[in-house]
Chains A and B, each alone.
Chain A
Amino acid sequence: DQQVKQNSPSLSVQEGRISILNCDYTNSMFDYFLWYKKYPAEGPTFLISISSIKDKNEDGRFTVFLNKSAKHLSLHIVPSQPGDSAVYFCAARRNAGGTSYGKLTFGQGTILTVHP
C-alpha cells in the first residue's frame, strides 16, 4: 500500500527552465511534507518542507506547493541548473503526537536530469 506516490519515474528539463516534480498521498493524517535530494553514492539531503497548515513554502530557487483537498504536492525548481540533476524523494510524516517519532513515508523517487 503505497501511501506516498511519485508517478513520474523521470523528468528531463533544459537548463534555465522550470522543473516541476509531483507527489500524491492518500493518508489524510499526514501533517508535514518534505523533499529530499539524492546524488548517486550519497545519502539523501533535506531540501525543503511544508506544514499542512500552509499551501506554499519558498526557499531560493525551490518552492513547494501543497493542495490538501487534492492530496497533492509539487516541487518547483526555477531556474533549473545541471547541478540539480539527482533523484528527488517526497516524504510525509503522520501527526507528530503520540508515538510517531517523526517517522517518514517516502515516495518512489523521480530522477531529474537537467541538460545544459
Chain B
Amino acid sequence: DVKVTQSSRYLVKRTGEKVFLECVQDMDHENMFWYRQDPGLGLRLIYFSYDVKMKEKGDIPEGYSVSREKKERFSLILESASTNQTSMYLCATKRAGGHNEQFFGPGTRLTVL
C-alpha cells in the first residue's frame, strides 16, 4: 500500500511568513506533485518533480517554490505567505512511466491571516 504523509493537517500562518509544507512517500515513486484545491476550481498543479533535485513548474507556480533533496521527500515553500494562498494543499506521488494513477496524501488545510 502506498503511503503518502503530509507534515500537518491544519496550519495557520500570518501574512508575510515563510511556510514549509512537507510530503513524504514510502513507495519509491519517482514523480511527486503539489496541488492546491479551491472550491469551484478543482485541483490545480503548482509544481512537480520527476527526480531528486529536478523540478518543473505547474500551472500556478507564482508565490511558491519546491525542494526535493531526497527521493521520498518533496517540500512546498511559500516564500512570503499571502491571504490568497489560503487553501487545501495536496501532495501526490506516481511511479514513472505507464498508465498508473497518482496517489494522494491527506492534505494540509492552510489558513493565512
Chain A interface (Cβ within 8 Å of chain B)?
A: 4, 6, 9, 32, 34, 36, 41-46, 49, 51, 89, 91, 96, 99, 101-109
Sample of 11 A–B contacts (CB below 8 Å): A6-B42, A36-B104, A41-B9, A43-B107, A46-B101, A46-B102, A99-B56, A101-B48, A103-B48, A104-B102, A108-B42
Instruction: Determine whether the beta carbon of B105 is less than 8 Å from that of A34.
Output: no
Question: Taking the complex as formed, is B61 at the interface, i.e. its CB lies under 8 A from any CB of chain A?
Answer: no
The size bracket of the interface on B is 20 to 34
The interface bits of chain B over 74-113 (1 if a CB of A lies within 8 angstroms of the residue's CB, else 0) are 0000000000000000101010111111111111010000
Question: Inside 8 A of B98's CB, which chain A residues have their CB?
Answer: 96
Instruction: Determine whether the beta carbon of B44 is less than 8 Å from that of A49.
Output: no
Most buried by B among A44, A49, A106: A44
